[in-house]
Amino acid sequence: MAILNNTVSNEVQTFSIGSYTFECRPYGILSLEKLYETAKQGSICQNSIDEFYKKNPKLKYYADGLLEHKQQYHVEIKDSECILYAKGQMTLSELLLVEGLAIKKPMFKDEEFESYYTLAQRKAKIDRKGLWGENIFNSCIEEMYK
């Protein structure tokens, strides 16, 4: 169990266990923030994400509204990322996927989480939420493979 100190963004949260403080990044996903950070400056991908957050400002701080500061959370570290159980058995990664605020990492293989992540991403895609309701997925993925 770790105590949430700060929610920097949907991509980064800081926790502490005793006097040890650490940053958490959601396991197995690429958040909109990560897509933005890895895209070329002024690219269609970055512009699409900027426009999305202008239309949906609360979603830019989705994790902050979901998580309670100074609250204890079950956190597991895997591959230098965090499996953060944010809402019962649902992880923050799943919650971001279902809102369309992230995509499952390409080539993600994890027997325990893959089916949950795939289902959450499929729901967002069907409901046209977040990056699935805009041109974000196509513009960002195209740029990644140029």
Domain regions of the chain by residue span: 2-145
CB atoms closer than 10 angstroms to residue 146: 6
- Least Cα distance to 105 among 113, 49, 65 occurs for 113
Which residues sit opposite 21 in a β-bridge?
16
**What residues have CB less than 8 Å from 117, skipping those under 6 apart?**
28, 29, 93, 94, 97, 104, 108
pLDDT at position 129: 94
- Evaluate whether 50 touches 92 at the Cβ level (below 8 Å): no
Return the structure tokens found at 79.
């591959």
Please give the CATH architecture assigned to the domain spanning 2-145: Beta Barrel (2.40)
Given this model, what pLDDT does residue 145 score?
53
In the numeric block, the tokens 């979901």 are attached to: 66
What's the CA gap between 56 and 109, in Å, rounded? 31
The whole-number pLDDT of residue 143 equals 62
Euclidean distance between CA atoms 139 and 142, whole angstroms: 5
Q: How would you write the pLDDT of the chain (146 residues) with one tens digit per residue?
A: 999 999 999 999 999 999 999 999 999 999 999 999 998 898 888 999 999 999 999 999 999 999 999 999 999 999 999 999 998 889 999 999 999 999 999 888 999 999 999 999 999 999 999 999 877 888 887 666 55
